[in-house]
Amino acid sequence: MNESGRLIVISGPSGAGKSTVVGKAIEGRHDVCFSTSVTTRAPRPGEVDGREYFFIDRERFREMVERDELLEHADYVSNSYGTPRAFVEKKLAEGMNVLLDIEVQGARQVHEKMPGAVTIFIAPPSLEVLERRLRGRGTDTEEAIAGRLERARQEFREADFYDYLIVNDNLERSAHALCAIIDAAQWRFSDRAEWLKNQ
């Protein structure tokens, strides 16, 4: 069977543990790749153009939107972010599962446009734990932590359309759950019905 890959969309508040869980879940897996987004925000120290993001200016971003070169896009805290369409379509056609780490508005667009996409929301066990993790990470000011907590509350309210919710209270279990979801997505009847018809 010559199959295309699955689009796997992951969201969740900053500090929920998304990168840690994803990193552990896809360790050693050759069937999953990451999509690198474009953003208008400035690189943080240590970030490399083409690795964390493609850093572009507002003019170029607008051009990409006009030319329909983005699969989805959204504004987040005064900057714009988007998923380049061409890379995702090429990798899916090659049979790779493509992982997007995007915020809730973008995930909703993908959910509506691409019904085959699998959407996963990763949440911290509680807002108190989220606050502790953000402090523990040591990268945010008190003001930024307050802003991220408020944004987390808002995302909890908006996240009513996801297929899966992983409450990340145990890293091993969360990574195992994510792996299982990616594996199960390969066997969805709706994506494979053609095979039966062709027999």
Of the candidate residues 38, 133, 145, 185, the single one contacting ligand ADP (CB under 6 A): 133
Residue 16 interacts with which of ligand ADP, ligand 5GP, none, CB < 5 to 8 Å by class: ligand ADP
| Complex with ligand 5GP: residue 90 or 188, whichever CB lies closer | 90
Q: Are 121 and 11 in contact (CB under 8 A)?
A: yes
Q: How many CB atoms lie within 10 A of CB 189?
A: 8
Retrieve residue 33's tokens.
């790749």
Residue 74 interacts with which of ligand ADP, ligand 5GP, none, CB < 5 to 8 Å by class: ligand 5GP
Q: How far apart are alpha carbons 17 and 187 in whole angstroms? A: 27
Asked if 103 interacts with ligand 5GP (CB under 6 A), we say: yes
User: Which 152-171 positions form the footprint of ligand ADP (CB under 6 A)?
Assistant: 168, 170-171
Burial class for 164, CB neighbours closer than 10 Å (0-12, 13-18, 19+):
middle
Cβ neighbours for 125, distance < 8 A, ≥ 6 positions apart: 167, 168, 169
| Helix (H/G/I), strand (E/B), else coil: 154 | helix
| Complex with ligand ADP: residue 97 or 174, whichever CB lies closer | 174
**Pairing label, strands 79-84, 70-76:** antiparallel
| Complex with ligand ADP: residue 139 or 186, whichever CB lies closer | 139
Of the candidate residues 21, 32, 101, 166, the single one contacting ligand 5GP (CB under 6 A): 101
User: Which residues sit at the interface with ligand ADP, rule CB under 6 A?
Assistant: 12, 14-20, 133, 136-137, 168, 170-171, 174
User: Which residues sit at the interface with ligand 5GP, rule CB under 6 A?
Assistant: 14, 37, 41, 72, 74, 76, 81-83, 101-103, 106
